[in-house]
Structure 1
Amino acid sequence: MIFAPSLLWLTTALLFLAPAVNLVWRGGTGYCFFAILAVALGAAVANRRVPGYFSGLRSYPWFTAGMLAFVVGIGIQQLLFGYWLPRQFDALSRFVLALPIFLLLRQLPSRQLRMIGWGCAAGALAVGIWAVIDQPAGGWTDANRLNNSYTNAIPFGDTALLLAFLSVFTLGWDGPRDWLVAGARLVALAAGGYASYLSGTRGGWLALPVFVVLLGMQYQWFAHRKRLLVATLAILIAGGALLSTERIQKRISQVTTDFSMLHQGKDYTSVGLRLQLWDASRMIFTHHPIYGVGKGHLANELGAMAKHGEVKSEIVNERAHSDFFSTLAEMGAVGVACLLLFYYGSSVYFWRHRRSADAAIRAASYAGLAVAASTVIFGLTIDVLVPIMVTVLLALLSATFLAVIDARKRELREAGASAPGTSDGALAAARAAAHK
């Protein structure tokens, strides 16, 4: 492959910076993403005749289809419905643009790609430090939740939590037995978790049990009785400590209060308004089951329903506060198929490689599963696939973690083929480990 060493180091630096600045510099991740894309497009042109450069799209067809699904679906919808809203392609186009980035990254040494793990740790640490330094008078409260100037508290807290846990998932390829490295990653976990805690994002906290289970599977906490006992005890202590804090108790009690008020007919609460939005989305689907009302037309449809007394005017919104229900209303059954294809394509290869004997492949697999799982869970109560700062990060993380797997498999094959005196059986074992 034709690739200058200076561009290799530039790409490595950008992979570190992209997650590191996501929550503290508006547009920073996007700048890094498009800089990597420019290198990727240049590499694609320079290597267009190199055999196998574009084979990654065929080797991972579900990933390719998942990244393309929404943009293709929206494009066909707008052609069929006879309207043009280019803004609806904006955030979701990052997943399409991640494909040439993946083709580039899979050609690089996996060691260089692992820098993204330190970028996640830096991003979690940065937001934790910022939460302490920028604390307003009276501290962060429910009335003044931690966020930044370019997003609200929910995606802010969700992203902080994801970066925090990715710091630990990617520890698997940086040597978890190195106490200096492990200590730095655990500090990043605490910092990002603290920022999420201050943001008060209840929906995002639903991902905590899933992250813990994935970590247990990655580091084999459940493989032996002693490890299981220690892990269970640590989880119970940490969980009990968190549940005993005033902020979490208050946020949970608010959910109970919202449901209690809902039973009394008072549905102007956070939970009540969401449930009304979701029910309205279901109603829209019953009238437009195939392709919905059109991407970007939800607010107009809800407004028309409010005028006819079918829904309350308070829920008229551009989004349904759920990726599933927004897609259901705006794109119908076709959109739901696109969403499921996106979920499947962004997770299936990570799931297949999760049991690899190679530490780098295993860590990348579980990190990729954490990204995929968080996208689904966060998307239950908020539209994850709308904020550009979120989609650009998700697209880059998914492409990079899959590229680590592919690059490492290539390196294992090359090492097995070039080892002098390697027997046919050992070579076959090395290849099997690479593909496992």
Structure 2
Amino acid sequence: MEKTIRYLIASMVLLAPASTLVVRGGTGYCFFVLVAIAVFAGLSKPFRLSPGLLISAYPLYTAGMLCFMVYLPLQQALEGYYLPREFDGLSRFALSLPIFLLLVNVPIGYLKALGWGCTLGAFGAGVWAADSAIHMTVTELNRLGNDFTNPIPYGNTALLLGFLSVMTIRWDDYRNAWMRRLGIGLKLLGFAAGLYASYLSGTRGGWLAIPLFLVLCSFNFGWVKRWQDGLAAAGAVVLAMALLLASPIGRERVMATESDLAQLTHDAAPSTSLGARLQLWRASIQMFEEHPLLGVGKGHLKSHLQSMADAGVISPLVVNQRAHSEFFSTVAELGAVGVVCLALLYLGPLVYFLRYRRSPHRDVSTAAYCGIAVSGSVIIFGLSIDVLTVVMSTALIALMWAVLLAVIARDTCLRQSSTIESRADSRNR
């Protein structure tokens, strides 16, 4: 029975990233299966949960996962309204805590299914991109996405899955050289497929994460050991970005940016992507100045933007539910307290990934570098889009953080137990 549950857990860890871009709600189904296992199987041996571990060993991670779910009900109570739908996406972070406690009880080999899940997810995105390229012409108004994901989160997620596919090569053990070559080849194919899907999506903001991902790959595989290696890695990053921007879609997106900037000087900002964002960000700052502590209220951004448009402060063309930036949406809706919560969410898991990135154990160091990639992508993607409003994205991010930190915690717990046992043996002697 125990082994069956472990295989079920591993299958959910694999299917969550594998299904995220190809099956509507796929990640959510896997996420809640793991929550159910944590609730029911976690109440009995050998999966008994230890909540004390969250406070004693990972307090910042715990605070980051819980902060929004503590603050949002309090904000609504203080401001006298009730919008339960605003809890939906952010609740995934709080629900990931029992999943983390469950996964700490699972051997690392089962958790490493995440790497192959990312490979399958990136491959699925690439196949969809190739099929779409045959049947459509990619333009500014006709970019790659699917029936349940618009081009920006689609391209960003595909890019992240592609890089995680190649970074988790260090996790894999093979019986022979032939299997090793096949496994590496499949993960490199997933990497290429994820990049191709991101390329067709035309997500300019997401491409800003590519230098970070390349640097993390270099450190993960130990390619950067001397200053000469650092220069070579920097040159590779510059070359990769140059090739991307010199490609047909890259040139089109650069020209679109130049056009946006040119139109800004002719008071045509609302008709451009960049101009609309600038108006939204300025309006968000104005809302923050008027409501500095708690903001205008989660879910009330659109109504306040409409009031500003009616007063002639902003263009009616930019009125929508989000500010197209995680930071500015948070500033406007949640105020200074919300910014503190967002910082905790960003930094809570990141602190531990940074701490263990130089571990001599490859499973731990790989998990740490992958965790830095996930955290860094959430921050960078959030510069130009509201990452945390997409429930699919929050579920995937929360689950990835839980799995990667569980790898680190599992290794740490095993080594601490080994140390205690060795000390006990020496005393008995």
Cα distance in 1 between the residues matched to 2:103 and 2:14? 13
Residues 1:53 and 2:22 aligned together:
no
Query: How much does 1:414 deviate?
Result: 4.1
Call closer, same or farther: CA 1:288–1:216 in 2, change over 3 Å.
same
Greater CA deviation, 210-219 or 93-102? 210-219
Query: 1:196 maps to what in 2?
Result: 198
Task: Show the counterpart of 2:127.
Answer: 129
1:323 to 319, 326, 345: 326
Equivalent AA in structure 2 for residue 24 of structure 1: V
CA offsets per residue over residues 55-81 of structure 1, 9 Å max, x none? 221110000000011111111000101
Q: Does 1:303 align with 2:306?
A: yes
Match of 2:108 in 1: 110
Instruction: Please tell me whether the aligned partners of residues 37 and 101 of structure 1 are also in contact (alpha carbons under 8 angstroms).
Output: yes
Q: Which has the higher helix share?
A: 2
Between the aligned partners of 2:253 and 2:101, the Cα distance in structure 1 is: 44
Instruction: Provide the residue aligned with 2:378 in structure 1.
Output: 375
Cα deviation for residue 182 of structure 1 reads 2.2
The gaps in structure 2 that reach 5 residues or longer are none
- Aligned match of 1:238: 240
Contact 1:168 1:186 in 2 (8 A): yes
Aligned equivalents of 1:421 and 1:225: distance in 2?
45
Q: Which residue of 1 aligns with 2:65?
A: 67
Q: Quote the Cα distance in structure 2 between the aligned partners of 1:418 and 1:358.
A: 20
The answer to whether the 8 Å contact 1:350/1:365 transfers is yes
Tell me if the contact between 2:132 and 2:144 (Cα under 8 Å) persists in the aligned partners. no
Partner Cα separation in structure 1 for residue 404 and residue 20 of structure 2: 18
Offset at 1:49? 11
Structure-1 residue corresponding to 2:211: 209
Partner of 1:164: 162
Query: What are structure 1's unaligned runs of at least 5 residues?
Result: 425-436
Structure 1 CA distance for aligned equivalents of residues 371 and 382 of structure 2: 17
Residue of structure 1 aligned with 2:369, choices 328, 348, 366: 366
* Structure 1 position 412, deviation (Å): 3.0
Q: CA deviation at 1:220?
A: 2.5
| Cα displacement (A) at 1:224 | 3.1
Structure 1 CA distance for aligned equivalents of residues 334 and 136 of structure 2 = 45
Output the amino acid matched with 2:338: G
Q: Is the 8 A contact 1:290 1:334 kept in 2?
A: yes
Distance 2:326 2:19 in 1: 25
CA distance in 1: counterparts of 2:227 and 2:314, whole angstroms: 54
Distance change (3 Å), C-alpha of 1:313 and 1:233 = closer
Whole-angstrom CA distance in 2 between matches of 1:311 and 1:123: 40
The residue type equivalent to 2:190 in the other structure is A
Distance in structure 2 (CA, Å) of the matches to 1:199 and 1:163: 14
Alpha-carbon shift at residue 409 of structure 1 (Å): 1.7
Count of equivalent residues: 421
**Does the aligned pair in 1 maintain the 2:245–2:254 contact within 8 Å?**
no
Work out whether residues 353 and 365 of structure 1, in 8 Å CA contact, stay in contact via their aligned partners in 2: yes
TM-score between the two structures when normalised by the length of structure 2: 0.93
Q: Does residue 1:256 correspond to 2:258, yes or no?
A: yes
Match of 1:20 among 12, 18, 21: 18
Separation of aligned partners in 2, 1:49 and 1:222:
40
CA shift in 2, pair 1:376/1:354, >3 Å: same
Query: Cα gap change, 1:218/1:422 in structure 2, threshold over 3 Å: closer, same or farther?
Result: farther
The 2-side partners of 1:150 and 1:335 are apart by 28
User: Closer, same or farther in 2 for the Cα pair 1:200/1:371, shift >3 Å?
Assistant: same
What does residue 401 of structure 1 align with? 404
Measured after TM superposition, the shift of residue 263 of structure 1 is: 1.4
The CA distance in 2 between the partners of 1:11 and 1:394, in whole Å, is 17
Correspondent of 1:279 among 282, 286, 291: 282
Give the letter for the 1:401 counterpart. Answer: L
Aligned equivalent of 1:434? none
Q: Which residue of 1 aligns with 2:358?
A: 355
SS in 2 for 1:346: helix
Distance across 2 between alignment mates of 1:160 and 1:317: 26
Q: TM-score, normalization: structure 1?
A: 0.91
Alignment partner for residue 270 of structure 1, among 269, 273, 276? 273
- 1:387 aligns with one of 386, 390, 399: 390
Letter in structure 2 aligned against 1:369:
I
Letter in 1 for 2:252: K
- Mark the CA change 1:417 to 1:180 in structure 2 (over 3 Å): closer, same or farther: farther
Whether 2:62 is the aligned partner of 1:44: answer no
Between 274-283 and 403-412, the greater mean CA deviation after superposition: 403-412
CA-atom RMSD, angstroms?
Answer: 2.3
In structure 1, what is the Cα distance between the partners aligned to 2:47 and 2:222? 44
Identical columns (%):
47
Partners of 2:215 and 2:233 within 8 A in 1: no
User: Is the contact made by 1:141 and 1:198 (CA closer than 8 Å) also made in structure 2?
Assistant: no
Assess if the C-alpha contact under 8 Å between 1:47 and 1:53 holds in 2. no
Query: What is the aligned partner in structure 2 of residue 431 from structure 1?
Result: none
- Partner in structure 1 of residue 83 of structure 2: 85
Shift of 1:170: 1.7
